[in-house]
Structure 1
Amino acid sequence: MAEVLSQSQIDALLNAARSGELDVDKPSEKSEEKKYRKYDFYSPRKFTKDRLKMLNSIFESYARVINSRINALLHATCEIEVDSVEEQRYYEFSNALTESDVIALAEIDLAELQGEDPILAHMDTPVVLSMLDRMMGGEGDPDPNLASDYNMTDLELDMYEGLLKDLIPIMGSSWENYITLNFRYTRTEVNPTLVQLIGYDETVVIVGLNIKFPNCTGRMSLCLPGEMLTNIFSEISKSTSRRSTGEDKSEEIFDSLRDSELEIVAELARTKILLSDLYHLNVGDVVDIKRPKDSPIFLNIGGRRWFDGRMGTSNKQVAVKIGETYIKM
């Protein structure tokens, strides 16, 4: 119910307005409404912000690598940067595709981590044609009359596949700080709207890369299946746990190595001779090693000098008495 003003309150307001204490033209201040992000309980998020930040870091590294690769391959100045890393449903990625788009399929070499769904890569047609034009010696100028439903020719598809076979395997190097993965190109689909490559409601992570040439810009999108990422993150967690457990058992591991056998090489001396002298050596010849007769000999383990000592006998066997240690235990 609206508040009713008394006569005295009305008079006070009118007097304040006449004296200028109250600015009637000034709009009343409204408290800013706090904005909240909508959350879809029907499709809850599968990956935490930390996981998405990890993916962002991984693909920033990938962007730098393919940036250098494309610059060298096309002899052109190109800038590639990560635009977004978002968790979505596959239908959001699929609905943005048209009949003329070309989708590349890829996978990792570990079938137990890959799952059933492939990795998908899509690149805007104008930037693809610009890159192919540069590969054939052109300037890569975009065609202003290019139709939105342009279909690549067989030659362009073949060249595009060759480019993808070069760019996709590089993706493995960006993961090497966390896990060893090898990515490989499998095939292309020229009309992705006719093929259901991943379930429409499946969770995926879409990585968007902006590609900028001096005369052309475009976007490359990578669709990473949620099942594959879940398996990879689980394996990374296991590896981290194994590494931390291994550090705690360092003494136990060292104890198990104490009984290992090592070869010790006693080195009398080293010298150099001419090949012609080596060729004429016979039984009874003397090689001058240019060392005093009381010089120590060296004991090497694994190709490194550990000790020196004096040669003698022990229990009627040739032996070496250790004199100095070179490596502290």
Structure 2
Amino acid sequence: MQPPSRRTFLALGLFTTLTACTASVGDRRAGPTPTRDPDTPVRLRAVAATDLLLGAYDSLLAAPGAQTALLQPLRDDVVRHRAELAQGLPTASPSPTSTPSRSLPTLPELALQEHRTAEAHLHDLDEVSPALARLLASVSACNALHATALGDQTPVKTPDAGTEGTPATGAAAVPALQTALSAEHAAVYGYGVVGAHLPDDPQRTDARTTHAAHQARRDTWQRLLTTLTAAPTPAAGGYQLPFPVTSPTDATKLAVHLETRLTTTYADLIATIPAPYRLLTATALRESTLRAHRWGAPATPFPGIPD
């Protein structure tokens, strides 16, 4: 239902004045109380945090000798974050309204601010609508990527959250958890191929580390499904590769493909998985975002969400 227009409010005010003699206090107070959108306060907090980031970027970009090539693309991402986070807010302008910070921040301080913003976006993930949860998790992953680009290598802390839920919630989570497990089965297989085609150098070491990380994530989904008395989907005997892999270049390209596909899978799952499991899924989305970029994928302001 559309909200009343100003003319409607004026008409209602006139009607109340004319009938005030006959209407009792109880009558005037009667009527349903409009419900407040639970997403609104979360969006407002997210926009406020984003405005602080924009102020820090503007201060650094205005300083002599600013590292424009590094900072401007990151700021552009934050502008897009703000526009999406402000959707539906009657009091928030869709365009940046930040003011430069009073004191000039350093690059490490800006990196820390990006890091803290990434963490802040996850605090209300289990309280918001599925669409906003997906957006917040994606923006948080991008903030973490920004922090890394600015030199902060500290892992983002995910708020503590139980994954027990209710029996009904657990049962509803099974299809999404099976999807996540199947995606990790494919990633484990794919990284076996990646490692086999890389030379014995730091890249192969990175591939082995990532292979082990996907095995650990696979095991996490398997344990959750077992806890819910659901039989985990077994791995297939083999998986079709998206293209032939015959060289180190192909292997690196495959790693990018695997992680990029995972970001899409996990971003979509956040919008469908029950709330108690969103934080785990957001963590998986962030990890794949960082790995994809490390393997050479181009940065995107909304990891896992196609433009």
**TM category, shorter:** under 0.3
Tell me: higher relative CO, structure 1 or 2? Use CA pairs within 8 A at least 6 residues apart.
Answer: 2
Task: Indicate the structure with greater helix content.
Answer: 2
Relative to the length of structure 2, the TM-score reads: 0.21
Larger radius of gyration: 1
Task: Indicate the structure with greater strand content.
Answer: 1
